Amino acid sequence: MGAAPRWRKSPPELVALFEAVLAGEPQAERRQMFGYPAAFVNGNLATGLHQADWMVRLGEPDRAALAAQGGRPFEPMQGRPMREYVVLPKAVLSERRALAGWIRRGIAYTAALPAKTAKKRAAKRSPAHKK
């Protein structure tokens, strides 16, 4: 078993940009995922930061369109891509209107998915209950 990956914090400028763009998206619930800013819709991850990358969840046509602009599959761990997520290319990050458009597409796509239900945590059994 290999060592756990050493992840770096997202650059402050990227975190500030994330917060600014998501401020215009009231249906996106902002919270942390693996220590990075993320936005969820109906309990499903829609977009988020990971180190110096910003990824977004998209349907197949939009994933292909973003790949044509330099986007790449989001792969937080080597060899384990997250299927519907694409890392936004730097050119999109530098163009606020384009960035906001991709985030809106990601939020709309995620909003159309079935809502996630909270999982019940198994109660820890006390030693007295063990047989």
Whether residue 122 is contained in a domain is answered as no
CATH code for position 52: 3.30.1460.30
Q: Does the pLDDT of residue 131 top 50, yes or no?
A: no
The length of the chain in residues reads 131
The number of folded domains in the chain is 1
Contacts of 117 (CB under 8 A, 6+ apart): 43
Whether residue 4 is contained in a domain is answered as no
Whether residue 119 is contained in a domain is answered as no
Q: Is residue 38 classed as helix, strand or coil in its secondary structure?
A: strand
Of the pLDDT bands very low, low, confident and very high (cuts 50, 70, 90), residue 80 is confident
Whether residue 20 is contained in a domain is answered as yes
| E strands in 59-122 | 72-73, 85-87
Give the other-Cβ count within 10 Å of 65's Cβ. 14
73 to 22, 27, 60, 109: CA distances (angstroms): 22, 25, 12, 17
Average pLDDT value for residue range 73-95: 89
Whether residue 124 is contained in a domain is answered as no
Give the residue numbers spanning the domain of 28: 12-114
Question: Could you tell me the two tokens for 76?
Answer: 């937080």
Q: Is the distance from CB of 58 to CB of 105 less than 8 angstroms?
A: yes
- pLDDT tens digits, residue range 61-71? 999 999 999 99
